[in-house]
């Protein structure tokens, strides 16, 4: 069992290296392998903090996923195609959720990491699984680039291993519709999601309350660091504090930064790192997951900085040559952002702060939510 005072653990796998959803899919870019390579280049990932993710067995996933769906996913990998019936029933073989070479093994590996994290955190600790965060997965359906829902599996595993009250915080640009299906009506799960309004999957309305511990904050395009700081200080941290969770699960999707091609939010990675740091120590168990993030440089830099933040490593102004080489080795085929990347994508992990005005809509929506948690949580 993990000593809660011990160093954070990183769960990764080589399966993510060179795995792609296909040449035109946003998930054609490397992400987890970049974080592992950059962290090692920085000297931040010694062997005793690294765990190779196990691959979950289908039977272990039936705690939330339907056995017929799991069988279809395994069939899809074996046959590299799906029948029209499986496509229709399970959402497989679509543009968003294609059949690709590791279509079963890859999600089963990130799900295995989340199940393992729940066990390893039984006596407390901090775990980082950047391959996790597949928050759109449904019990019997692939959805939004996600085949399984590892955050749901993580929460169920934490529950099996002694945590009762769980705070799930999601700062991905998209609303975690799959996690809300699982826990939106559960008073023992605090759910807070900050997501871009009017963006797919278009769920997560401000007025949704679930059983009282569900807080959805849709935000406008252009969300800046100052606004996110207000959200952090007025909503996220006080709600978690008041809820007094046994475990915190942070879905730290990297798609709400300016450089991300799939959202119109304008955070810098400083916003994410500060939330990662501020939640540290607010519960005895802390699991940080990845999520979205579709620009290979911004996601690699952001998620490596998350690992530094969990460990208290100082992020240098200028990266050493070995780390710059990792970033120089990346490409963004078929995207204009890959044609002329700015120097800071290679020289440093840290973005310039993107401060701005706090728009009245943000303040009003925050007031709406904080008025609720003051009495209900
Ligand atoms: Zn997302």
Q: Mean pLDDT per 10-residue run, the chain (377 residues)?
A: 70 97 96 98 98 98 98 98 98 98 98 98 98 98 98 99 98 98 98 98 97 96 98 98 98 98 98 98 98 98 98 97 97 90 96 98 98 69
Q: Residues 25, 65, 135, 136: which is the catalytic one?
A: 136
Q: How far is the CA of 16 from the centre of ligand 1 (A)?
A: 18
Q: What's the DSSP call for residue 102? A: T
- At residue 2, the pLDDT reads 41
Q: How far is the CA of 159 from the centre of ligand 1 (A)?
A: 25
Q: How far is the CA of 176 from the centre of ligand 1 (A)?
A: 8
Q: How far is the CA of 355 from the centre of ligand 1 (A)?
A: 22
136 is catalytic: yes
Kindly give the residue spans of alpha helices, DSSP state H, lying in the chain: 32-41, 58-61, 67-79, 84-90, 105-120, 150-160, 177-183, 225-231, 237-243, 269-279, 296-311, 321-328, 344-347, 360-376
Q: Could you tell me which residues come within 8 angstroms of residue 278 by beta carbon, excluding any fewer than 6 positions away? A: 232, 236, 237
Region 9-376: CATH code: 3.40.800.20
Q: How far is the CA of 253 from the centre of ligand 1 (A)?
A: 6
- At residue 376, the pLDDT reads 53
- At residue 25, the pLDDT reads 96
The bridge status of strand 247-251 relative to strand 50-52 is unpaired
Q: How far is the CA of 266 from the centre of ligand 1 (A)?
A: 14
Q: How far is the CA of 172 from the centre of ligand 1 (A)?
A: 5
Q: How far is the CA of 122 from the centre of ligand 1 (A)?
A: 29
- At residue 70, the pLDDT reads 98
Largest distance between two CA atoms of the chain: 54
- At residue 373, the pLDDT reads 76
CA angle 56, 61, 66 (to 5 degrees): 140
CA angle 329, 276, 49 (to 5 degrees): 65
* Cβ atoms of 254 and 299 closer than 8 Å: yes
- Picking from 339, 251, 266, 248, the residue whose alpha carbon sits closest to that of residue 297 is 339
């Amino acid at each position: 069992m993990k000593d809660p005072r011990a160093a954070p653990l990183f769960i990764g796998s080589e399966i993510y290296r060179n795995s792609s959803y296909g040449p035109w899919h946003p998930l054609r870019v490397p992400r987890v392998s970049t974080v592992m390579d950059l962290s090692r280049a920085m000297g931040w990932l010694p062997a005793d903090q690294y765990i190779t993710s196990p691959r979950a067995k289908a039977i272990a996933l039936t705690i939330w996923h339907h056995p017929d769906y799991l069988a279809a996913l395994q069939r899809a990998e074996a046959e590299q195609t799906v029948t029209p019936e499986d496509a229709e029933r399970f959402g497989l073989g679509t543009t968003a959720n294609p059949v690709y070479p590791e279509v079963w093994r890859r999600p089963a590996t990130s799900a295995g990491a989340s199940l393992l994290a729940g066990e390893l955190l039984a006596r407390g600790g901090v775990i980082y699984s950047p391959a996790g965060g597949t928050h759109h997965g449904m019990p019997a359906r692939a959805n939004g680039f996600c085949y399984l829902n590892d955050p749901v599996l993580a929460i169920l595993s934490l529950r099996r291993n002694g945590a009762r009250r769980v705070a799930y915080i999601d700062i991905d640009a998209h609303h975690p519709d799959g996690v809300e299906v699982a826990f939106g009506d559960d008073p023992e799960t605090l759910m807070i999601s900050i997501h871009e309004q009017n963006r797919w999957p278009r769920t997560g309305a401000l007025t949704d309350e679930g059983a009282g511990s569900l807080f959805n904050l849709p935000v406008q395009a252009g969300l800046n660091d100052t606004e996110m700081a207000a959200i952090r200080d007025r909503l996220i941290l006080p709600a978690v504090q008041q809820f007094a969770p046994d475990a915190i699960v942070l879905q730290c999707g990297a798609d709400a930064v300016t450089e991300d091609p799939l959202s119109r939010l304008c955070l810098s990675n400083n916003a994410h790192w500060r939330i990662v740091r501020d939640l540290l120590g607010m519960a005895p168990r802390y699991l940080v997951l990845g999520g979205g993030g579709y620009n290979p440089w911004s996601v690699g830099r952001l998620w490596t900085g998350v690992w530094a933040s969990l460990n208290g490593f100082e992020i240098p102004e200028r990266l050493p040559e070995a780390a710059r080489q990792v970033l120089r080795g990346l490409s963004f085929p078929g995207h204009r952002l890959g044609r002329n990347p700015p120097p800071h994508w290679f020289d440093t992990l840290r973005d310039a702060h993107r401060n701005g005005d706090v728009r009245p809509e943000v303040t009003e929506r925050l007031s709406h939510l904080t008025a609720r948690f003051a009495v209900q949580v």
